[in-house]
Structure 1
Amino acid sequence: MALWPRRKRKRRRFEPFDRSALPEVPAPTFDQMLTEGVLVAESAGRMALRNRMIVEALRGEEPFAPERAAAAAREVLYELVQEADEVAEHTAEARAAAARREGRSSHEHDYRRADAANLRRREQVYAAVAKELWVRRNDPEYLTAFAERAREEAWGEVSGAIETRLDREWSEWPRIEVDETYEAEREGRVLDLLADLDMGVAVAEADRARRAEENDPFRGFVG
């Protein structure tokens, strides 16, 4: 069999990357930042309320009632208002200190005079988020909808955990004989399942707190 000589592939010459050729990304408007800030706060609030509902259900406390759920939603929103107000105050303090510093920043939290405008905008956004959440926490219809969505998310998480546990146990126990012993041990199995779910909620809450401490939801909007 004849062997044909391999043809050398012609190399293509690539132009060096030119960052200046990239399209300029427009800065978000104040209204866009406010909308995003409220959405982030609402998501954190629903997660907190959802976890509270799951814990109450696992502990066998009072049954779900829309009125109590709306009251709990109002409490959660109040905590979010306080958090937003505190961030606005801290940002104002950082802006005042940055106004006295010249030069270039050495890290992302080393604010200088050039950062004063962005810090001022961030302060205004957090203050506006707090104001908007305060208005919403006094709206009964909004509280009812907020609590109902948290309830749906809570039930989705609990039902998913139950289905996963049942699927695992069903595969391990292909044949289950329902007799007096099985019925007598049912309560113990339910308690074991609730303990597993309770532990899962605690782990999720700890993970949420860690992420909230590490992440700044407005880092992508202002420098």
Structure 2
Amino acid sequence: MRFLPRRTTDDTMWWPSTVGGAAHLVDEGVLVARSALRMTLKNLVIMHSLRDAQPWQHDTITSLARDAVADLIAELGATADRLETDVERFAARAGRSSRTQRHRAELSRLTMRARTARGVVERLRELHDDPEAIDALVRVARDDMLTELTQARLQPEREAMQQSDDERRAAMESVKADLLELQQQREAWRELRESGW
């Protein structure tokens, strides 16, 4: 009679079968990385345009996009290197713990994370070397920037509410009274909880 699952060499054994293994995880990692790149590039374009008062120059923005991709590649590459070192160190542990199900599961999880990070880095390198993909990233960032700035401009501005000193003092006293009442309610609930209610 066997109570524990049979040990296998399949790296996906500790992941749900619906995940689809490392390729699916790499695809999800690339989606997250592309989303982060879009937001980073959008913010860089906003700063370049508004803060630095520079006109739109496609070559400059493309260079910023390539730099952002290179920075993300370096960051994820360092993470993948660290994970691979952790896998080697974890796999080198000898003794009884190396035979436990928990140890094998942790080793499998670390291995999958390292493979996923390395796969995302490789796909980002492909993106970095593809001029059409960089141009598409720049276009999407430009559209996101224009949308955000347009929405910010369309929000109606309200005038500041004018209050006399007496009205302001009365409003502050009202807020203080509300806070005191909330504090008293919280203390009453704490006393009830501590009394075993």
- Bucket of the pairwise TM-score, normalised by the shorter protein: 0.5 to 0.7
Partner of 1:151: 142
Partner of 1:92: 84
> For each residue in 1:143-191, what CA deviation from the matched residue of structure 2 results, as whole angstroms up to 9, or x when unmatched?
1110110111112112211222xx123xx49xxxxxxxxxxxxxxxxxx
Partner of 1:142: 133
Structure 1 gaps, min length 5: 1-23, 106-110, 174-223
**Tell me, what secondary structure is at the counterpart of 1:63?**
coil
Once residues 54 and 92 of structure 1 are traced to their aligned partners in structure 2, the CA distance between those partners, rounded to angstroms, is: 37
Identity %: 27
Partner of 2:30: 38
Once residues 25 and 138 of structure 2 are traced to their aligned partners in structure 1, the CA distance between those partners, rounded to angstroms, is: 25
Once residues 29 and 74 of structure 1 are traced to their aligned partners in structure 2, the CA distance between those partners, rounded to angstroms, is: 30
1:66 equivalent to 2:58? Answer: yes
Shift of 1:141: 1.1
Shift of 1:71: 1.3
What is the count of residue pairs matched by the alignment?
141
**Structure 2 letter corresponding to 1:32:** H
Once residues 112 and 83 of structure 1 are traced to their aligned partners in structure 2, the CA distance between those partners, rounded to angstroms, is: 28
Once residues 103 and 80 of structure 2 are traced to their aligned partners in structure 1, the CA distance between those partners, rounded to angstroms, is: 18
**Scaled by the length of structure 2, what TM-score is found?**
0.64
Once residues 138 and 114 of structure 1 are traced to their aligned partners in structure 2, the CA distance between those partners, rounded to angstroms, is: 36
Q: 2:18 aligned to 14, 26, 29, which one?
A: 26
Shift of 1:81: 0.8
**Structure 2 letter corresponding to 1:128:** G
> For each residue in 1:65-98, what CA deviation from the matched residue of structure 2 results, as whole angstroms up to 9, or x when unmatched?
2221111111111011111111111111222333
Partner of 2:106: 115
**Tell me, what secondary structure is at the counterpart of 2:107?**
helix
> For each residue in 1:112-168, what CA deviation from the matched residue of structure 2 results, as whole angstroms up to 9, or x when unmatched?
44311221121111111111111111111111110110111112112211222xx12
Q: 2:45 aligned to 49, 53, 60, which one?
A: 53
**Scaled by the length of structure 1, what TM-score is found?**
0.57
Shift of 1:45: 0.9
Once residues 83 and 139 of structure 2 are traced to their aligned partners in structure 1, the CA distance between those partners, rounded to angstroms, is: 34
CA-based RMSD of the aligned residues comes to 2.4
Once residues 33 and 90 of structure 1 are traced to their aligned partners in structure 2, the CA distance between those partners, rounded to angstroms, is: 18
Structure 2 gaps, min length 5: 1-15, 161-197
Shift of 1:26: 2.6
Once residues 145 and 26 of structure 1 are traced to their aligned partners in structure 2, the CA distance between those partners, rounded to angstroms, is: 31
Partner of 2:115: 124
4+ long deviations beyond 3 Å: 111-114
User: Counterparts of 1:173-192 in structure 2 under 5 Å?
Assistant: none
Once residues 79 and 55 of structure 2 are traced to their aligned partners in structure 1, the CA distance between those partners, rounded to angstroms, is: 36
